[in-house]
């Protein structure tokens, strides 16, 4: 991918890269002649595609670590579910159970909770407004 | 307005160079591997992993340095078949001394392969992530000197095509089928794709021979593709079954 300043007919030079943390990417490019700066903004899906290539926009400053992509992109771990919590989850209708489980798991993960119990489910339900789940 | 190839200023990101470095990394890691063989089939459930693991063990018992790369990222079974625990970068050492790497060594017990990333339209990037994982399996494992590296492929052709792209050269292919017309037809497509890509067909292994399965799939494919039937593996194979196959690779 390259950027051309049409007015100056000059190839723009890479400036900086930002990863705001929401899955998006911003990269700036500057025209060496007129100084105009443009930013390329990618959505999470586009950013993921670049990530899957194992390349760095702006260039690599250090060599890739072994299994860098696998280690940083595979979902592992996640909170454990107590027996009581599992039993309660099993009473959720099957067609929404996966979604409900993910909501509780995300809630726990964001708060560093290692085990989901009925009490945690009650707290999450109250905080997230999930009455009936 | 000038077009992409008319812009020739240096690209600071060096994306092409980064991709080139990845290929170089794969080549350097595999420099000590005398031969790479992809064990494949167009059909699932025919015993590719079973054949891979057992022929690798037979070769290892015969003091042939052998490794197994489990390229079935979504259904890795090689760690269980070779009795290895989870660790990576250095290949795990499995039964009979077979070196092994598998996605099963990275995943939690029983967990499916899932990538972090935007969930909407994930089909767009998931295949690219799997190809990247395969590239790291090839480029980041210290295999050392190997006489043979067996690549256990999942059903279908996708992983084989990715493999050809990453390696730069199509690997030799060992095809596994069972003696049914359904398997023969699915495997035929895979073999045809392998021939079109330029892979050397080493031969056919007919697995699960006897009992309910009494077709002629292996013979039909052998005649059609002019490649030998290397082994017919019965339902209850002995170590000799695998040694005989290993000696023909």
**CA–CA separation, A28 vs A13, rounded Å?**
8
For residue B174, the cross-strand partners are B39, B203
Q: What are the tens digits of pLDDT across the range B125-152?
A: 888 889 999 999 998 888 888 999 999 9
Residue B191 has pLDDT above 90, yes or no: yes
Quote the pLDDT of residue A38: 94
| B11 CA: distance to closest CA in chain A (Å) | 8
Residue B149: strand pairing partners: B36, B67
Mean of the per-residue pLDDT values for chain B?
88
pLDDT value, residue A127: 86
pLDDT of residue B230: 96
User: What local confidence, expressed as pLDDT, does residue B105 receive?
Assistant: 82
Task: Please say whether the beta carbons of A78 and A109 come within 8 A.
Answer: yes
pLDDT range class, residue A68, cuts 50, 70, 90: confident
Q: Is the pLDDT of residue B121 over 90?
A: no
Q: Nearest Cβ partner of A75 from B114, B131, B132?
A: B114
Name the segment(s) of chain A with CATH classification 1.10.8.550.
80-128
pTM above 0.90, yes or no: no
The percent of residues in chain B predicted with pLDDT above 70, rounded, is 98
Q: Is this complex's ipTM strictly greater than 0.90?
A: no
Q: Are A77 and B108 in contact (CB under 8 A)?
A: yes
CATH class of B29-247: alpha beta
Find the CB nearest A52 among B1, B2, B128.
Answer: B128
Residues A80-128, CATH architecture:
Orthogonal Bundle (1.10)
Q: What's the confidence (pLDDT) of residue A92?
A: 86
Q: What is the mean pLDDT of residues B178-190?
A: 93
* Model confidence pLDDT, tens digit, residues A72-84: 788 776 677 888 8
pLDDT above 90 covers a percentage of chain B that reads 51
Is a pLDDT exceeding 60 seen at residue B212? yes
**Average pLDDT for B189-196:** 94
Residue percentage of chain A with pLDDT more than 90: 17
DSSP state of B171: P
Which residue in A108, A103, A100 sits closest to A79, CA to CA? Answer: A108
Q: How far lies B137's CA from each of A70, B17, B167, in Å?
A: 9, 20, 12
**Residue B36, pLDDT score:** 94
pLDDT at A112: 65
Structure token pair of residue B236: 């209850």
Report pLDDT for B60. 92
Taking only the tens place, the pLDDT of each residue in B53-89 is 999 999 999 999 999 999 998 888 888 898 876 545 6
Interface of B with A (CB under 8 A): 1-2, 4, 7-9, 11-15, 18-19, 22, 88-89, 103, 106-108, 111, 113-118, 120-121, 124-125, 128-129, 131-133, 135-136, 140
pLDDT band at A132 (very low <50, low <70, confident <90, very high): low
Interface mutation target, options B20, B136, B137, B162, chain A, most CBs of A under 10 Å: B136
Q: Which has more confidence, A14 or B15?
A: A14
Through-space distance between the first and last CA atoms of chain A, rounded to whole angstroms: 47
Mutation pick from B86, B115, B119, B142 vs chain A, by most beta carbons of A within 10 Å, is B115
Cα(A16)–Cα(A58) distance, integer angstroms: 7
Q: Please answer yes or no on whether A74 and B113 come within 8 Å at the CB atom.
A: yes
Answer yes or no: do A54 and B131 touch at CB < 8 A.
no
Q: What is the DSSP string of A26-84?
A: EEEEE-TTT--EEEEEE-HHHHHHHHHTT--TT--SSPPPTTHHHHHHB-----EE-HH
Can you give the pLDDT at residue A58?
A: 73
Domain ranges (residues) in chain B: 29-247
In terms of Cα–Cα distance, which of B70, B71, B151, B61 is closest to B97? B61
pLDDT of res. B85: 61
Cα first-last separation, chain B: 57
Strands B99-102 and B92-93: antiparallel
Among A72, A70, A76, residue whose Cα is nearest residue A19: A72
Write out pLDDT tens, residues A23-56.
Answer: 788 899 999 999 999 999 988 888 888 877 777 7
Q: By CA distance, what is B107's nearest residue in A?
A: A76
Q: Which strand (E) or helix (H) includes residue B225?
A: helix B217-225
């Amino acid at each position: 991918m390259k950027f051309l300043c049409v007015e100056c007919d000059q190839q723009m030079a890479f400036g900086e890269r930002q990863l705001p943390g929401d899955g998006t990417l911003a990269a700036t490019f500057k025209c060496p002649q007129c100084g105009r700066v443009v930013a390329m903004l990618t959505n999470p899906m586009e950013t993921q595609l670049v990530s899957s290539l194992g390349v760095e926009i702006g260039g690599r400053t250090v060599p890739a670590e072994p299994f860098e992509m696998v280690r940083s992109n595979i979902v592992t771990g996640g909170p454990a579910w107590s027996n009581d919590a599992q039993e309660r989850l099993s009473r959720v209708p099957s067609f929404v159970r996966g979604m409900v489980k993910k909501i509780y798991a995300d809630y726990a993960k964001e708060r560093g909770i290692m085990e989901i119990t009925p009490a945690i489910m009650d707290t999450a339900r109250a905080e997230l407004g999930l009455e009936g789940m | 307005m000038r077009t992409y190839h008319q812009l020739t200023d240096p690209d600071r990101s060096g994306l092409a160079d980064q991709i080139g470095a990845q290929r170089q990394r794969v080549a350097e890691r595999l420099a000590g591997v005398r031969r790479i063989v992809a064990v494949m089939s167009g059909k699932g459930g025919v015993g590719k992993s079973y054949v891979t693991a057992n022929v690798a063990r037979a070769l290892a018992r015969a003091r042939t340095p052998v490794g197994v790369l489990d390229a079935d990222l979504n259904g890795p079974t090689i760690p269980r078949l070779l009795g290895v625990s989870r660790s990576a970068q250095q290949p795990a050492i499995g039964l009979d001394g077979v070196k092994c790497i598998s996605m099963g060594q990275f995943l939690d017990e029983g967990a499916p392969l899932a990538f972090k990333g935007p969930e909407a339209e994930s089909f767009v990037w998931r295949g690219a992530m799997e190809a990247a994982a395969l590239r790291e399996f090839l480029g980041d494992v210290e295999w050392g000197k190997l006489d043979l590296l067996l690549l256990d492929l999942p059903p279908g052709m996708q992983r084989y095509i990715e493999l050809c792209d990453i390696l730069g050269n199509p690997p030799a292919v060992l095809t596994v089928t069972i003696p049914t017309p359904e398997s023969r037809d699915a495997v035929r497509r895979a073999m045809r794709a392998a021939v079109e890509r330029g892979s050397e067909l080493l031969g056919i292994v007919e697995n699960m021979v006897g009992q309910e399965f009494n077709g002629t799939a292996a013979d039909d494919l052998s005649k059609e593709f002019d490649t030998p039937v290397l082994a017919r593996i019965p339902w209850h194979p002995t170590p000799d079954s695998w040694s005989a196959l290993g000696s023909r690779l």
